[in-house]
């Protein structure tokens, strides 16, 4: 349940960050404009008036103003440069080992203990099932 709630909240946050709320509001405004313009003229004329940009409604103007205000970037912050007066670390050159000096050790012989007792005779019936 918590995973589904987390995924839902993450999806909503992504939707808001991407500006999805403006798309929803603009769609509502276009729907209202289509309904209003289609009362006085044909549907094709209403579509042309709605999407031409020449006849914006009050809601479209409000949405455009709000988007412009939101798109403004915050004032740049002054970054203070901190200078540390410390001696640089000495550079140490590391050499690779010579390839003929290194050899992997030989593997030790595996000494596994031998099993001293023989398997039971006859084979128990429980082991077969």
**How much is the average pLDDT of 33-40?**
88
64-78 pLDDT per residue, tens: 888 888 766 666 666
pTM of the model: 0.48
Sign, CA dihedral 61-63-67-70, equals positive
Cβ atoms of 22 and 60 closer than 8 Å: no
Report which of 65, 61, 60, 64 is spatially closest to residue 33, judged by C-alpha positions: 60
Predicted pLDDT of residue 84: 66
Predicted pLDDT of residue 117: 72
């Amino acid at each position: 349940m918590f995973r589904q709630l987390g995924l839902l909240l993450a999806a909503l946050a992504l939707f808001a960050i991407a500006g999805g709320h403006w798309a929803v509001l603009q769609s509502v405004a276009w729907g209202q404009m289509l309904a209003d313009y289609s009362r006085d003229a044909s549907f094709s004329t209403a579509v042309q008036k709605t999407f031409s940009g020449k006849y914006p409604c009050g809601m479209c103007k409000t949405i455009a103003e709000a988007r412009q205000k939101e798109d403004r970037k915050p004032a740049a912050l002054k970054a203070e440069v901190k200078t540390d007066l410390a001696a640089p670390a000495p550079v140490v050159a590391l050499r690779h080992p010579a390839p003929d000096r290194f050899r992997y050790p030989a593997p030790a012989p595996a000494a596994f203990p031998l099993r001293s007792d023989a398997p039971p005779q006859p084979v128990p019936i429980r082991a077969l099932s």
